Amino acid sequence: MLDFIDELIGFLNGVSEEINVVVMPDFFLDRMITLESSLPEFAASITEVASRKGGSIDGVPQTDIRGGNAVNTASALAALGVNVTPIVCTSQLGMAQLNLHLKPMGIDTSHVKISTKASLTTALEIAKDSGRLNVMLRDLGSLANFGPEDLSEADYSIINEADYVCVFNWAGTKMHGTDWSAMFSGR
């Protein structure tokens, strides 16, 4: 495995031209909840708490992380020295987190769209005999309605100048789906 990594690093070091990539449109504020109990044990805990009309289940490890295919790809590409520009939508809180995570990597966040509602995922990682299972509870937020009409002329310009444009998570953009491909025609 390390041979492949060394080979990849050698290849990337040999690339002399700058590569420009645009990634879009998803960014999620992710919360990972790791449950050490099995699904039946967790269900029993919820049932017990519900039977007393609510309460807490303490001692559940949780982590907030940056998520979304576009932004995670942007981070990986930037780590490889690629000039990457995300065109995503999020809330003010999401923008603060993007700046915290991406600006130190030299990623330009000026094309991020500030909307009223961030995209959120709460992922339950539940113990299973053969490892773990993952159940994601998603709130698409403003991503559900994000589409080509939300792009500015500056966005279209950077898209046209890019060597690669990556459009992720069409399932999250319920209102537009393959309409994203129309944004490239005639430009």
pLDDT in tens, the chain (187 residues): 667 788 877 776 766 678 899 999 999 999 999 998 888 888 999 999 999 999 999 999 999 999 999 999 999 999 988 999 999 999 999 999 999 999 999 999 999 999 999 999 999 998 888 888 899 999 999 998 888 889 999 999 999 999 999 988 766 666 655 555 555 554 4
Is 187 part of a structural domain of the chain? Answer: no
Is 125 part of a structural domain of the chain? Answer: yes
Is 94 part of a structural domain of the chain? Answer: yes
Is 107 part of a structural domain of the chain? Answer: yes
Is 28 part of a structural domain of the chain? Answer: yes
Is 6 part of a structural domain of the chain? Answer: no
**What residue numbers bound the domain in which 171 lies?**
18-175
Q: How much is the pTM?
A: 0.80
Per the structure, the count of domains in the chain is 1
Is 9 part of a structural domain of the chain? Answer: no
Q: What is the CATH number of the domain that holds 120?
A: 3.40.1190.20
Write the secondary structure of the chain as one string of H (helix), E (strand) and C (coil). Answer: CHHHHHHHHHHHHHCCCCCEEEEECCCEEEEEEEEEEEHHHHHHHHHHHHHCCCCCCCCCCEEEEEECHHHHHHHHHHHCCCEEEECCEECHHHHHHHHHHHHHHCCCCCCCEECCCCEEEEEEEEEECCEEEEEEEEECHHHHHCCHHHCCHHHHHHHHHCCEEEECCHHHCCCCHHHHHHHHCCC
